[in-house]
Chains A and B, each alone.
Chain A
Amino acid sequence: MDQTTSATSKQSPAQNQAVLLQASELFCERDDRVLFSGLNFSVSRGQVLQIKGGNGTGKTTLLRMLCGLNQDFEGTLYWQGQDMAEQEEAFHSALLYIGHRVGVNKVLTPLENLRWTCRLQREVSDEQLMSALAGVGLRGFEDSQCHALSAGQQQRVALARLLLSQATLWVLDEPFTTLDVDGVALLENLLQQHAARGGAVLVTTHHNLQIPGLEVLTLG
């Protein structure tokens, strides 16, 4: 089950400044079932890495491990060449994670939701928040309660964070599931721009991404 992707993974992290996140010999089992073992890969600046695999192959588990939400694994993670355990604050400052559950409170409005999730990371003005919401097609919905919005619109509330983010690494778990055609194009565009700016993206999806230079890691 040895899986290795991307040309950079064979270099030691110290030699390559562009490598943001490196995973070495990851091993994880759930309920006595091995999800993956000996998994090595790295994510560098300018890279969009898609994680593929069937249902139950551990895509979400892998993303949660990388973010530090799931500590139940063996192996080592490096952030910019340093052991992740000592880099937690720096890593969290540079990370934007949108999980399967997108973190949108149903009784709050899109504006209030976005304000809180952004302010956990950095100071943003209301004008910036409004224009980000307009940017994901939620103009006119800023002050409706989120339980009145469709699943796709709630997903867009979460994705508005991408427009305001200064994080280097985006980790997105199934961000395309509830989006319409326009939404998919918008998100693909955002991922591409982020990579072009020197950021990195880790994304799980079954969708065929139309992004030049896309790399794929297949699990299972």
Chain B
Amino acid sequence: MSDIHALSGAYAVDALDDVERAGFERHLATCPTCRDEVASLEEAASLLIESASPLSAPDTLRERVMAEIALFRPLPPLTGQAAPAPVVRGDHGHAAPEARDLAPVVPLRRRRVPALAAAAAVVAALGLGATVVQPLVDRGRDGQPVITESGVQRVLQAPDARTQTYTIKGGARAVVTVSRELGQAVLRAEGLGDLPPGMVYELWLQHDERMVAAGFLPAGADATVLLTGDASTATAIGITTEPEGGSPQPSLDTAIRFPLTKV
């Protein structure tokens, strides 16, 4: 644990894997020394491109960029203490009851439903009042937080973002936000239990009958993760427990699956 400071350099050049990155960002939230160091190392890293032979951007890029930015309003600045809690919008900016009561938890690929999935089937639908997802913005680095959360933010603020909340046995919850347009999904897991050493929660996107690995959740803590891979046509998101490093195929007996609403 004391060694975690040593990750500052690797973090500054994005050389951490997803699990390490999430862990280090939690550390950053509480360690001003590391935040300062990361900031200074990012300054250093930003000089590296100067050492490369320069390329000019293709002409088409400028047009595309300028056309695209015209479609988006810049986000408001963060205003410190009373910053409005970022509300994950459901359909049209309502903070409210996207809270999808419970989605059926079904085993992947219609297999038998053993242990965890069976347990998950017991899931009670909590009447979740509102899907206000907490401080997604400010995690990690105070001052300039959004860099680290940017992919997440972009999904959460996408005009077509849809948020669904699923309750999992034992009080755990998963809040899934999908932007079909961006083709990306964000999962916020709350209260998933600790795993034995050497095991990780792996995420999956289901496309038809195929499960595609989509990253990992840091174990044991609440976490917000941008799934890797294309979510534009995914039909479900799955969470399984796998040996560290992940598995090529999901271990079905640990699967929890969250069906996504159609586009």
Partners in one complex: no
